[in-house]
Amino acid sequence: MQTTPNAERYDRLTRSFHWLTVALVIFLFASAQVWDILEKGTPLRKGLQSVHISLGIALAALIVARIAWRLFGGNRLPVITSRTTHLLAKLAHLGLYALLLAQVVLGFGFRWAQDEPFSFFGLFSVPAPFIIDHELSSTLGDLHETVAWAIIILSGLHACIALGHHYLLKDSTLRRMLPAGRKNLQG
The predicted structure's pLDDT at residue 167: 92
Give the dihedral sign, CA 19/21/26/28. Answer: positive
CA R_g for the chain = 19
**74, burial (CB in 10 Å: exposed 0-12, middle 13-18, buried 19+):** buried
Distance CA(136)–CA(110), nearest Å, equals 8
What is the rounded end-to-end Cα distance, in angstroms, of the chain?
30
Cα(95)–Cα(85) distance, integer angstroms: 15
CB 17 within 8 A of CB 66: yes
pLDDT of residue 47: 94
What is the predicted pLDDT for the residue at 183?
47
Residue 172 confidence (pLDDT): 82
pLDDT of residue 7: 59
Q: Which architecture, in CATH terms, is 2-177?
A: Up-down Bundle (1.20)
Counting as low any pLDDT under 50, the low residues of the chain are: 1-6, 182-184, 187
Q: For residue 5, what pLDDT is reported?
A: 41
CB 59 within 8 A of CB 185: no
Residues 73-105: pLDDT tens digits? Answer: 877 777 777 888 888 988 999 999 999 999 999
Residue-range domain boundaries for the chain = 2-177
Nearest CA to 104 among 78, 70, 67?
67
How confident is the model at residue 6, as a pLDDT?
Answer: 39
DSSP for 49-88? HHHHHHHHHHHHHHHHHHHHHHHHSSEEPPP-S-HHHHHH
